[in-house]
Amino acid sequence: MLSITRALAGLIFGLVFAGGGILLALETSVPTYRTWQQMQRWQPARAQLLAVGGQENETTASYNYQFDDRNYSGNRVYVADFNDNIGSYHRDLQQHLAKLWRQQLPVRIWVNPADPRRAVIDRNMRWGLFTLMTGFCLVFILIGLAVAIAVIRAALFPAANPLPTTAQLRREWRERQAEPGFLQSFIRFRRYRLQELRQQAHTQVKAPASETDRARDWRQRKGWQTRTIRSSARSGVAWMWAFAIFWNGISAPMLFAFEEEWQQGNHAIVLGLLFPLAGAFLVYRAVRATLEYLRFGAVVLDMDPWPGAIGGHMGGTIDIGKWLPEGTDRRHVEFRIILECVYSSVSGSGKNRSRQEDIRWAEQGAMQPERSPKGMRLRFRFDLPDNLPEADIAQNGDYHFWRLRVTGHLPGIDLRREFNIPVFRTGARSRFVGNDLSATAREQRRQQAESTRQAIESGRFDLAGLSQLVNIEKQGGVLILHFPMFRNRVLTLICLVFAGSFGFAAWAILTGFSGAGLWRAAAILFAVPFGLVALIAAVAATYLPFNNLRVRLGADGISARRNLLFVPVFKRSLPRSAINRLTLKRSGSRGQGVDRVEQFRILVHDRGGKTTTIAEDIEGEPLARQFRDYLAGRLGV
């Protein structure tokens, strides 16, 4: 019953949204175009201005004229029958008519010969305004139709393996939350389960009949026929040039229209220059990719084992057909090799479909090249856990794939290559490669965790991920944690961008298409969602930089106070006897794969079940865990 209600609500929403766009078009774009066509057949005449007036968004005038030896009066000035303040049209027209009125000069008008009582001063179409009106209406029509079609398709063609409901996932969460090692964040768990079920459904449809069939199938994929795998640089260069040419082709007219629009007072046209600038950046990227390909040519990966083995190794050698430039110190040249297991999924429907990537597992290592007869050679291997998904053979729809990325910072053009590689659950191990990058990475993580533990236990808090976020001060047996303002600069900037862009859109809708009646009501209706997003983003952009947290931990317990600027918005004190335990909670993350940094907060749980934040924005789970254990030790919990 609930799904039917949701489907019906979605269908009604889509049809109402599309209907609103159609109604607006019937009230604005369509009659404006028809009137303009009719006025092209009207005949010229001379009129005497009686009065001229107006505002920023409209021009008014009254005039007398003769047609076929009869006297008439009129007050229509232009084609459109609604008000707007797009560009300097009204200002220029008012100045022109006022000058003629003051000098008692006649003005040329256009009269309908079939009905001489109808006349207009300016019968020209304002194509910029017409395009804006039409595009505005079209956006809402397309969105509404897309929602309605998606709802109908979902009702007529339900998924063969329906996804679990939120209630089912919540029940599973309650049942499993006590398990050790279970995900701390329900949102993360829910996303993982949804993607897992999609992958299971996709795998069931495409699973080969036997292991022999599967082995034969994956070798038939283009590029996987032999253990020698070529990078995607050549096709990548071609794609980048095609996209750069397409983008610049559709954005170039903006440059030609800029001067005219600026002279007419449309200063908002400056925002349109972002599109040609983006096009210039795309050309720059395409040129860089072309120069990189011309310098290094075809870079080849020789896999050992082939295919890469889940539960075993993924390794091999990479041959680069260029040696280092003369005079380069090889000790200062370092290559970075990154292996990623990526889940690629499609969201949306129809023309609104978009593909996104989620890196499920990643490992990296750094190494120096050795000389080979062809140029440079890199030998490496990674250890693959046995719980990772295999590479999808067809790679369409929602699927997993394995990607090997190689980068090298060299004098001149840097090396950047990617390989789509076969990885399956064979457990095979490398026969000829001994450079274990995974072992090196594990040792580096162990050393970093040990260094962090020793530093925190000794009372040194000058650690990356901690010292730049919190000021820690010791006053006898009391520890004071001060999380100052302006910690969330990136999030604040994002919120400011959202607030500015959506706020500008709401303002443009309300002021650019003013008037009365249906058009005014529709403008307010469509401006409300933009205004709400702008308001929420503005509140977040105010709270994020100006909130600060001060926590005091002593022998008597904990006190925490959060201020907005210098105004307290939250304050709580807990005696030591009321403290039950300290836990970690993931609060966010930035980056993906090997560059992913997770942020955590430390919560105090009292014996009544309530929680209080005493530390936040700590980067990295090992550091957060060590700091939590340190604070728990000081509190004796």
Report how far residue 572's alpha carbon sits from residue 605's, in angstroms, rounded to the nearest whole number: 13
**Parallel/antiparallel/unpaired status of strands 597-606 and 579-590:** antiparallel
pLDDT of the residue at 21: 77
| CATH architecture assignment, domain 228-443 | Sandwich (2.60)
Report how far residue 513's alpha carbon sits from residue 133's, in angstroms, rounded to the nearest whole number: 9
Residues of the chain with pLDDT under 50: 1-2, 159-162, 180-181, 202-213, 215, 516
pLDDT of the residue at 269: 64
Instruction: Kindly provide the residue ranges of all beta strands, DSSP E only, lying in 87-209, ordered along the sequence.
Output: 107-111, 119-120
Q: How is the chain split among helix, strand and coil, in percent rounded to 5?
A: 45, 30, 25
SS3 state at 536:
helix
Q: Which helix (H) or strand (E) holds 495?
A: helix 489-512
**567 beta partners:** 564
Report how far residue 531's alpha carbon sits from residue 354's, in angstroms, rounded to the nearest whole number: 26
Report how far residue 65's alpha carbon sits from residue 49's, in angstroms, rounded to the nearest whole number: 9
pLDDT of the residue at 513: 56
Note the pLDDT tens digit of each residue in 326-358. 666 666 678 899 999 999 887 765 555 677 888
pLDDT of the residue at 150: 75
Report how far residue 394's alpha carbon sits from residue 214's, in angstroms, rounded to the nearest whole number: 12
The single residue listed with the structure tokens 């049209």 is 89
Q: Are residues 338 and 404 in contact, defined by beta-carbon separation less than 8 angstroms?
A: yes
**Parallel/antiparallel/unpaired status of strands 557-564 and 547-554:** antiparallel
pLDDT of the residue at 561: 92
- Residues whose CB is less than 8 angstroms from the CB of residue 239 and which lie 6 or more positions away in sequence, other chains included: none
Every domain of the chain and the residues it spans: 41-122, 228-443, 454-483+547-635, 489-539
Tokens read off for 628: 């939590």
pLDDT of the residue at 160: 42
Q: Are residues 583 and 605 in contact, defined by beta-carbon separation less than 8 angstroms?
A: yes
- Using a 10 angstrom Cβ sphere, with 0-12 exposed, 13-18 middle and 19 or more buried, the burial of residue 373 is exposed
pLDDT of the residue at 131: 76
pTM of model > 0.75: no
**Parallel/antiparallel/unpaired status of strands 119-120 and 107-111:** antiparallel
pLDDT of the residue at 119: 94
